[in-house]
Amino acid sequence: MDGFQKRKEVKTKAILKSALSLYLQKGVQDTTVAEIAADAGVSKVTIFNYFGTKDNLIREVILHYISEVYEEFHAIVHGDLSFETKLEKMMFLESAEMEHNSSEFIDEVMKEYNRPDSRVRELYEQEGLELYMNLFMQGKNDGKIHDELTIEAMIVYLSIFTEGLRKKSVYSSVLPYTKEVMELFLYGLAGKK
């Protein structure tokens, strides 16, 4: 990589980091390109040269954000914790993100996920599902998931759960009950045996 490419990469990362920080604090609509540029130490022209439009910048920031979340999930899934602890950490990480960040930004993430050409959904299908499959395999190997349940059925169940969370009314109502929802997800209505 030549010097120009390295500088461009550094500036791109700075822009994504600044935009994400501001979007999480203030929301997307209340954050201007000028504020992002000032925070990143670049010009507005640089942002438009790199991303084209504000909408493209928003989409790239969301993809950057989801990639960071999956990096955290990867570390959890491949760590030395119990199945239940891993699942709990992942669910609480998701709920903490939703609870502590601008609801408008979370809405933008959900809108992006629902787009027909969503790279966020593509990332979920490529990386997220694999992480959950690894986690479910550990749960089966540890005897925490019933032997007769197939990984495929669990992925379908997860997909139904994920589809529900794509609706604003659902994901906002889940937040206060994260622990209970995790229990339902793991043990169903009958609870632990």
CATH code linked to domain 1-52: 1.10.10.60
What pLDDT is attached to residue 88? Answer: 80
State how far the Cα of 58 lies from the Cα of 62, in Å rounded to an integer.
Answer: 6
Task: Taking the CA atoms of 90, 132, 153 and 191 in sequence, report the sign of the dihedral they define.
Answer: negative
Three-class DSSP labels, the chain = CCHHHHHHHHHHHHHHHHHHHHHHHHCCCCCCHHHHHHHHCCCHHHHHHHHCCHHHHHHHHHHHHHHHHHHHHHHHHCCCCCHHHHHHHHHHHHHHHHHHCCHHHHHHHHHHHHCCCCHHHHHHHHHHHHHHHHHHHHHHHCCCCCCCCCHHHHHHHHHHHHHHHCCHHHHHHHHHHHHHHHHHHHHCCCCCC
- The model carries a pTM of 0.81
Do the Cβ atoms of 113 and 166 come closer than 8 Å?
yes
Q: Where are the domains of the chain?
A: 1-52, 61-187
Q: What is the pLDDT of residues 131-144, one digit of tens each?
A: 989 999 999 998 88
What pLDDT is attached to residue 137? Answer: 92
- Asked if residue 192 has pLDDT above 90, the reply is no
Same fold, 1-52 and 61-187: no
What pLDDT is attached to residue 97? Answer: 64
What pLDDT is attached to residue 20? Answer: 94
Q: What is the pLDDT of residues 83-116, one digit of tens each?
A: 888 988 887 776 666 666 667 787 888 888 888 8
CATH number assigned to the domain with residue range 61-187, chosen from the 4 options 1.10.3470, 1.10.357, 3.40.1000, 1.10.10:
1.10.357
Q: What is the pLDDT of residues 11-65, one digit of tens each?
A: 999 999 999 999 988 889 999 999 999 999 999 999 999 999 999 999 999 999 9
